[in-house]
């Protein structure tokens, strides 16, 4: 969990080869979207489930989380701020 966002791994499809995370607000508990592997982009992406406003701090926390997933997969060399 972070100050603004909670990232929770969810098993959506048993045969799925990559991880899937729900992203929710730590303040309201609302699910804001999810992070999943995109085969076209060949990387993890954030997919928004609803219209929401993000501060730069929220975006930075999401960036760090996805960057760590990419580093764990050794797909790309991502700079961590």
Identify the pLDDT of residue 50: 81
| Sequence spans of domains, the chain | 5-73
SS3 31: strand
Tokens for 64, please give them. 């760090």
pTM: 0.81
How confident is the prediction for the chain on average, in pLDDT?
86
Identify the pLDDT of residue 79: 57
**Which pLDDT tens digit goes with each residue over 12-70?**
777 778 899 999 999 999 999 999 999 999 999 999 988 888 889 999 999 999 999 99
Q: Is the pLDDT of residue 6 over 90?
A: yes
Strand order in the sheet with 31-38: 5-9, 21-25, 31-38, 43-48
Identify the pLDDT of residue 21: 96
For 16, residues 6+ apart whose C-beta sits below 8 A from its C-beta are: none
Angle among Cα 18, 27, 44 to the nearest 5 degrees reads: 20
């Amino acid at each position: 969990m972070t100050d603004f966002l909670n990232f929770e791994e969810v098993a959506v499809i048993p045969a799925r080869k990559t991880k899937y995370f729900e992203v929710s607000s730590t303040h309201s508990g609302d699910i804001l979207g999810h992070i999943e592997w995109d085969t076209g982009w060949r990387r993890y992406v954030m997919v928004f489930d609803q219209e929401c406003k993000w501060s730069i701090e929220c975006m930075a926390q999401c960036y760090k989380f996805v960057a760590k997933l990419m580093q764990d997969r050794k797909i790309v060399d991502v700079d961590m701020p």
